Amino acid sequence: MEKKKKFNFKEEMEKGKALLDSRLLEAVVLSPSGGGKSCLCGTLPGKILYLYTEAEKHGPKNAKKYGGGDVYPFCIDHKRNPDESIEYVVELLNDVDFIRESEFKSIVCDSLMQFETLIRGTSLYYAMCKTTGGKHDGYKEPAAVLSIFNKIMGALRNLNQELGIHYICTCPLDVREKGENGEILASKPQLSTYMIAESLIQQFSDVFVIGQLSKEKEDGTVISDWRIQFLSGIYKDSKDKHERIKKTINYNPRSTDVEKLPRTMRADLKDLIKLKEQQ
């Protein structure tokens, strides 16, 4: 009979204490296309491991050029099919020794929408969506997507705890309403379903929007600046087969470690990290 594994509760207690003490970024940053997500990611500290798809190849360039970061781009789907691409991401993020030896301090996944598209093209996804009769069951799709997504999220959380890595995932927004100064008042994340959006976004400690805000000076001239926005409205509807809204979830921008968030702050993640560390 196989001997039952003994749990190391002392080690678990230390991990729990480290989690409570951590002020690392575990963030999803949302904005419309061209809204400054990748530029913001370039303001992360230290060497940045930047994971992107060919559809987002402008991302690491913007992070380097406008964010000024020490960016190391890894294209996950170049000459790879969806199965190989997802396997590549999971294997890379689980290679703790490589990431430690390379001295990466931050990781970017750009973007959740593109990663979801790749996941939906994998053979594992199709296998998980099959009925016992071999037909495709659309009701199984969200659970299948999340099951594969969570391999990536689990690896990111492990690196966050084991090596003290900041991580950021980007997600595009459909903007429904803006204020007079450009502040995003109503929007929804570009993820395919209510269940996927809800289950993914709730996994992040830090949720915020970036967008361009304008301000009129005393002389009448208008200046614009990219700002992190903490009071933006983000929601996702769940609809029935007749397109009637059954329920709506609001994703309030937040930072777990910050008791009182400013309405906006300049688009520099080092400032946000400093704000978290001061709490």
Instruction: Catalogue all structural domains in the chain, each as residue range(s) with its CATH number.
Output: 25-277 (3.40.50)
Query: What's the mean pLDDT in 167-190?
Result: 90
Q: Which of left, alpha, beta for 217 (phi over 0: left; psi -120 to 50: alpha)?
A: beta
| CA-atom Rg of the chain in angstroms | 20
In the predicted model, is pLDDT for residue 17 greater than 90?
Answer: no
The token pair that represents 4 in the structure block: 């039952």
Query: What's the mean pLDDT in 139-144?
Result: 96
Query: What's the mean pLDDT in 80-109?
Result: 98
Query: What's the mean pLDDT in 92-116?
Result: 97
Q: Give the tens place of pLDDT for each residue, 216-235.
A: 777 777 788 899 998 777 76
115 confidence band (pLDDT: 50, 70, 90): very high
3 confidence band (pLDDT: 50, 70, 90): low
Angle made by CA atoms 200, 205, 209, in degrees to the nearest 5: 80
CA-to-CA distance for 33 and 171, rounded, in angstroms?
9
Q: Give the tens place of pLDDT for each residue, 235-251.
A: 677 676 767 766 666 77
Question: Beta strands 206-216 and 222-229: pairing type?
Answer: antiparallel
> At which residue do the structure tokens 């190849």 appear?
57
86: helix, strand or coil: helix
Provide the β-strand partners of residue 247. 238
Q: How many CB atoms lie within 10 A of CB 235?
A: 16
CB 236 within 8 A of CB 245: no
CA-to-CA distance for 49 and 69, rounded, in angstroms?
10
Identify the pLDDT of residue 92.
98
Question: Beta strands 104-110 and 166-178: pairing type?
Answer: parallel
CA nearest 130: which of 141, 120, 122?
A: 141
Which residues, in sequence order, are CB contacts of 241 under 8 Å at separation 6+? Answer: none
